[in-house]
Structure 1
Amino acid sequence: MEIVNKEQESKGSYQALVEGEKVAEMTYSVAGTDRIIIDHTEVNEAYRGTGLGEKLVRKAVKDARNKKISIVPLCPFARSVFDKNEDLKDVL
Protein backbone atom coordinates (compact mmCIF):
# COMPACT_ATOMS: atom_id res chain seq x y z
CA MET A 1 0.00 0.00 0.00
CA GLU A 2 1.15 3.52 -0.72
CA ILE A 3 -0.29 6.90 0.21
CA VAL A 4 -0.02 9.66 -2.37
CA ASN A 5 -0.86 13.34 -2.17
CA LYS A 6 -2.46 15.00 -5.17
CA GLU A 7 -2.90 18.77 -5.13
CA GLN A 8 -4.17 21.16 -7.77
CA GLU A 9 -4.59 24.84 -7.05
CA SER A 10 -6.84 25.10 -3.99
CA LYS A 11 -7.94 21.45 -3.67
CA GLY A 12 -6.12 18.26 -2.82
CA SER A 13 -6.42 14.71 -1.60
CA TYR A 14 -4.49 11.93 0.06
CA GLN A 15 -5.17 8.59 -1.56
CA ALA A 16 -4.35 5.10 -0.34
CA LEU A 17 -3.48 2.83 -3.25
CA VAL A 18 -3.30 -0.95 -3.17
CA GLU A 19 -1.78 -2.39 -6.33
CA GLY A 20 -2.56 0.90 -8.06
CA GLU A 21 -6.23 0.88 -7.04
CA LYS A 22 -7.59 3.71 -4.87
CA VAL A 23 -9.08 2.15 -1.73
CA ALA A 24 -9.33 5.27 0.46
CA GLU A 25 -9.29 9.03 0.02
CA MET A 26 -9.21 12.09 2.24
CA THR A 27 -9.95 15.41 0.54
CA TYR A 28 -8.98 18.91 1.62
CA SER A 29 -9.04 22.55 0.57
CA VAL A 30 -6.03 24.84 0.71
CA ALA A 31 -6.82 27.90 2.85
CA GLY A 32 -4.23 30.57 2.20
CA THR A 33 -0.56 29.78 2.58
CA ASP A 34 -0.64 28.42 6.10
CA ARG A 35 -3.45 25.85 6.44
CA ILE A 36 -5.50 23.11 4.88
CA ILE A 37 -9.09 22.15 5.69
CA ILE A 38 -9.84 18.42 5.70
CA ASP A 39 -13.43 18.09 4.50
CA HIS A 40 -14.05 14.41 3.73
CA THR A 41 -12.62 10.94 4.34
CA GLU A 42 -13.85 7.82 2.59
CA VAL A 43 -12.57 4.24 2.87
CA ASN A 44 -13.62 1.38 0.60
CA GLU A 45 -15.93 -0.95 2.53
CA ALA A 46 -13.47 -3.85 2.25
CA TYR A 47 -10.83 -1.78 4.10
CA ARG A 48 -12.96 -0.24 6.85
CA GLY A 49 -11.74 -0.95 10.35
CA THR A 50 -8.14 -1.47 9.21
CA GLY A 51 -6.79 1.90 10.33
CA LEU A 52 -6.43 3.15 6.79
CA GLY A 53 -8.36 6.38 7.41
CA GLU A 54 -6.10 7.21 10.35
CA LYS A 55 -3.04 6.58 8.17
CA LEU A 56 -4.31 9.21 5.74
CA VAL A 57 -4.73 11.72 8.58
CA ARG A 58 -1.26 10.94 9.93
CA LYS A 59 0.28 11.45 6.48
CA ALA A 60 -1.42 14.85 6.23
CA VAL A 61 -0.09 15.73 9.70
CA LYS A 62 3.45 14.71 8.73
CA ASP A 63 3.27 16.86 5.60
CA ALA A 64 1.77 19.79 7.54
CA ARG A 65 4.65 19.65 10.02
CA ASN A 66 7.19 19.65 7.19
CA LYS A 67 5.47 22.62 5.51
CA LYS A 68 4.87 24.37 8.87
CA ILE A 69 1.15 24.74 8.20
CA SER A 70 -1.93 23.94 10.27
CA ILE A 71 -4.90 21.65 9.69
CA VAL A 72 -8.58 22.38 10.27
CA PRO A 73 -10.40 19.02 10.47
CA LEU A 74 -14.00 19.74 9.43
CA CYS A 75 -14.53 16.11 8.44
CA PRO A 76 -16.06 14.25 11.42
CA PHE A 77 -13.76 11.26 10.95
CA ALA A 78 -10.59 13.37 10.81
CA ARG A 79 -11.81 15.36 13.84
CA SER A 80 -12.24 12.11 15.78
CA VAL A 81 -8.68 11.05 14.94
CA PHE A 82 -7.35 14.35 16.29
CA ASP A 83 -9.56 14.09 19.39
CA LYS A 84 -8.20 10.61 20.19
CA ASN A 85 -4.51 11.33 19.55
CA GLU A 86 -2.75 14.02 21.57
CA ASP A 87 0.42 13.59 19.48
CA LEU A 88 -1.35 15.10 16.45
CA LYS A 89 -2.74 18.25 18.01
CA ASP A 90 0.33 20.39 17.39
CA VAL A 91 -0.88 21.08 13.83
CA LEU A 92 -4.35 22.26 14.82
Structure 2
Amino acid sequence: MDITVTEQPDQHRFVARAGADEVGVLDYQLRGEVLALTHTGVDPARRGDGIATTLVTRALDEIRASGRRVVPVCPFVGHVLARHPEYADLAVGDAG
Protein backbone atom coordinates (compact mmCIF):
# COMPACT_ATOMS: atom_id res chain seq x y z
CA MET A 1 0.00 0.00 0.00
CA ASP A 2 1.41 3.39 -1.02
CA ILE A 3 0.84 5.99 1.71
CA THR A 4 1.74 9.64 1.29
CA VAL A 5 2.04 11.94 4.28
CA THR A 6 1.83 15.71 3.96
CA GLU A 7 1.68 18.50 6.48
CA GLN A 8 -1.25 20.90 6.46
CA PRO A 9 0.20 23.67 8.65
CA ASP A 10 -2.88 25.87 8.33
CA GLN A 11 -4.89 23.06 9.98
CA HIS A 12 -2.09 21.98 12.36
CA ARG A 13 -1.99 18.40 11.18
CA PHE A 14 -0.26 15.82 9.05
CA VAL A 15 -2.47 13.80 6.72
CA ALA A 16 -1.94 10.27 5.42
CA ARG A 17 -3.45 9.43 2.06
CA ALA A 18 -3.83 6.20 0.12
CA GLY A 19 -4.39 7.50 -3.39
CA ALA A 20 -7.07 10.19 -3.11
CA ASP A 21 -8.45 8.81 0.18
CA GLU A 22 -7.57 10.43 3.50
CA VAL A 23 -6.83 7.48 5.78
CA GLY A 24 -5.22 9.10 8.81
CA VAL A 25 -4.40 12.32 10.61
CA LEU A 26 -1.85 13.43 13.20
CA ASP A 27 -2.96 16.62 14.93
CA TYR A 28 -0.60 19.01 16.65
CA GLN A 29 -0.42 22.29 18.53
CA LEU A 30 2.42 24.59 17.58
CA ARG A 31 4.57 26.04 20.35
CA GLY A 32 7.28 28.04 18.58
CA GLU A 33 9.48 25.45 16.88
CA VAL A 34 7.99 22.61 18.94
CA LEU A 35 4.99 20.57 17.87
CA ALA A 36 2.88 19.04 20.64
CA LEU A 37 1.60 15.92 18.84
CA THR A 38 -1.85 15.57 20.34
CA HIS A 39 -3.85 12.93 18.45
CA THR A 40 -3.35 10.16 15.90
CA GLY A 41 -6.43 8.89 14.10
CA VAL A 42 -6.91 6.32 11.34
CA ASP A 43 -9.99 5.46 9.30
CA PRO A 44 -11.58 2.55 11.22
CA ALA A 45 -11.83 0.51 8.02
CA ARG A 46 -8.03 0.78 7.60
CA ARG A 47 -6.90 0.00 11.15
CA GLY A 48 -4.34 -2.75 11.40
CA ASP A 49 -2.68 -1.79 8.10
CA GLY A 50 0.25 0.03 9.74
CA ILE A 51 -1.03 3.44 8.64
CA ALA A 52 -0.69 5.06 12.07
CA THR A 53 2.97 4.05 12.42
CA THR A 54 3.72 5.17 8.87
CA LEU A 55 1.96 8.47 9.49
CA VAL A 56 3.86 9.18 12.71
CA THR A 57 7.31 8.13 11.46
CA ARG A 58 7.00 10.11 8.24
CA ALA A 59 5.77 13.14 10.17
CA LEU A 60 8.76 12.77 12.50
CA ASP A 61 11.07 12.63 9.48
CA GLU A 62 9.56 15.87 8.18
CA ILE A 63 9.75 17.49 11.60
CA ARG A 64 13.43 16.55 11.88
CA ALA A 65 14.18 17.86 8.37
CA SER A 66 12.62 21.21 9.28
CA GLY A 67 14.66 21.54 12.48
CA ARG A 68 11.66 21.34 14.77
CA ARG A 69 11.12 19.12 17.83
CA VAL A 70 8.13 17.37 19.42
CA VAL A 71 6.26 16.83 22.66
CA PRO A 72 4.54 13.42 22.46
CA VAL A 73 1.16 14.18 24.05
CA CYS A 74 -0.63 11.44 22.07
CA PRO A 75 -0.02 8.02 23.69
CA PHE A 76 0.44 6.40 20.27
CA VAL A 77 3.22 8.87 19.38
CA GLY A 78 4.89 7.96 22.68
CA HIS A 79 4.57 4.29 21.73
CA VAL A 80 6.22 4.93 18.34
CA LEU A 81 9.05 6.89 19.97
CA ALA A 82 9.65 4.04 22.43
CA ARG A 83 9.78 1.48 19.61
CA HIS A 84 11.91 3.66 17.31
CA PRO A 85 14.80 5.08 19.35
CA GLU A 86 16.22 6.74 16.24
CA TYR A 87 13.63 9.48 16.85
CA ALA A 88 14.37 9.98 20.58
CA ASP A 89 16.41 13.13 19.89
CA LEU A 90 13.27 14.88 18.61
CA ALA A 91 11.38 14.66 21.90
CA VAL A 92 11.69 17.61 24.28
CA GLY A 93 9.23 16.30 26.88
CA ASP A 94 6.15 14.21 27.39
CA ALA A 95 2.57 14.58 28.44
CA GLY A 96 3.25 13.49 32.02
TM over 0.5: yes
Q: Given residue 18 of structure 1, which amino acid in structure 2 is its aligned partner?
A: A
4+ residue runs over 6 A deviation = none
Aligned-pair Cα RMSD in Å? 1.3
- 1:43-54 correspondence runs (5 A): 43-54=42-53
Match of 1:24 in 2: 24
- Residue from 6, 14, 21 that aligns with 1:4: 6
Identity value in percent = 25
- 1:62-77 correspondence runs (5 A): 62-77=61-76
Counterparts of 2:23 and 2:37, CA distance in 1 = 18
Match of 1:91 in 2: 90
Match of 2:59 in 1: 60
For structure 1, the 5+ residue unaligned runs are none
Contact 2:5 2:59 in 1 (8 A): no
Question: Normalised by the size of structure 1, how large is the TM-score?
Answer: 0.87
Question: Normalised by the size of structure 2, how large is the TM-score?
Answer: 0.84
Give the total of aligned pairs.
89
